[in-house]
Amino acid sequence: MAAEDKKITLKSSDGEQFEVDEAVVMESQTICHMIEDKCADNGIPLPNVNSKILSKVIEYCNKHAQAAKPVADGAADGASALSPAEDLKNWDAEFIKVDHATLFDLSLAANYLDIKELPARPSPT
């Protein structure tokens, strides 16, 4: 079974369960290590992430996992006004247009799950 076919169950702090493709959750280094250590067979509890934030994190990881897939040669020949990297950057900018509390929770989740690219994390300036 290919990684993109395997499902991993993530359990939020408030008890909600999310079935997610393994390729998507591999965006998180924390979850990646849990899978490598064979700790994902009965689901992965995430006691520091509630269901609202976990669903946003999954949305983010799904978008980035899809963007990481190779693009067909024909699609890269100017079919879109934006390059895939620019499109993803714009999507990221829209993704973090949330209230301060949600942004803070996303930042905490990004840190806890070790998702390096999650833009909710404060960038050094």
Domain positions in the chain: 7-113
Output the pLDDT for position 49: 97
Conformational region of residue 28, where left means phi above 0, alpha means psi within -120 to 50, and beta covers everything else: beta
pTM: 0.82
Is residue 49 within 8 A of residue 111, CB to CB? The reply is no
Give me the residues paired with residue 10 across strands: 18, 44
Structure tokens at 70: 């190779």
Query: pLDDT 10s per residue in the chain (125 long)?
Result: 444 579 999 999 999 999 999 999 999 999 999 999 998 889 999 999 999 999 999 999 999 999 888 765 445 444 556 788 899 999 999 999 999 999 999 999 999 999 988 865 444 44
Structure tokens, 103:
């942004």
CATH fold label, 7-113: Potassium Channel Kv1.1; Chain A (3.30.710)
pLDDT of 119 reads 66
Give the model's pLDDT for residue 74.
46
The Cα–Cα gap between 106 and 33 comes to 20
Q: Which residues contact 82 (CB under 8 A, 6 or more apart)?
A: 90
**Residue 121 carries which side chain, given as an amino acid letter?**
R
CA 34 from centroid of its chain's CA atoms: 16
